């Protein structure tokens, strides 16, 4: 199962959201912490149709992903769970959705995947919400040169 999760990160890095969704069950659930911190892509989404429209769209509008690096990807003994840790390097976007390079951030994450067969059934995402919120504040305050 860890190979499926590693493939999902590779597809994310390439921007292939459709490919990620093909690795998931139809009723996949994605839970991202950070709603309380005002992170626009936080919350709970269910289904292959909803996750790209809400989570991935909100993420792309607010951040340009530069890199995602896995430091560990560990499968449970019964192959029903995979835990992945690493860092996400991203540049927040300003109000006009232009990247603000000076606000680049490296965010540690821990993702817990519940697997069903060889498919991703649920993802619980834990990130450093303070770093994400700070980068968003810096981008919001950014005044592009005219």
Give 67's Cβ-side CA count (13 Å radius).
11
pLDDT at residue 146 is higher than 50 = no
Q: Tell me which CATH code domain 2-141 carries.
A: 3.10.450.50
Distance CA 103, CA 139 (A): 6
In this prediction the pTM is 0.92
DSSP letters for 64-121? EEEEEEEEEEEE-TTSSEEEEEEEEEEEEB-TTS-B-GGG-EEEEEEEEEEEETTEEE
Residue 3's pLDDT band (boundaries 50, 70, 90)? very high
pLDDT in tens, 83-124: 999 999 999 998 888 899 989 999 999 999 999 999 999 999
Distance CA 57, CA 17 (A): 10
- The predicted model gives 126-143 an average pLDDT of 90
Using DSSP, state whether 143 is helix, strand or coil. coil
pLDDT at 143: 66
pLDDT in tens, 41-70: 999 999 999 999 999 999 999 999 999 999
Kindly give, in sequence order, each residue whose CB lies less than 8 Å from that of residue 4, ignoring residues fewer than 6 positions away: 23, 82, 115, 118, 119, 120
């Amino acid at each position: 199962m860890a190979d499926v999760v590693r493939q999902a990160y590779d597809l994310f890095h390439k921007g292939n959201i459709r490919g990620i969704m093909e690795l998931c069950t139809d009723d996949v659930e994605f839970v991202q912490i950070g709603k309380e911190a005002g992170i626009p892509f936080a919350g709970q989404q269910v289904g292959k149709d909803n996750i790209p429209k809400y989570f991935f769209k909100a993420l792309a509008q607010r951040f340009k992903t530069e890199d995602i690096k896995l430091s560990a990807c560990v499968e449970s003994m019964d192959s029903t769970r995979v835990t992945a840790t690493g860092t996400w390097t991203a540049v927040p976007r300003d109000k006009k959705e232009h990247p603000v390079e000076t606000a680049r951030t490296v965010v540690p994450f821990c993702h817990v995947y519940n697997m069903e067969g060889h498919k991703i059934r649920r993802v619980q995402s834990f990130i450093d919400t303070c770093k994400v919120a700070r980068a968003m504040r810096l981008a919001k305050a950014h005044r592009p040169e005219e």
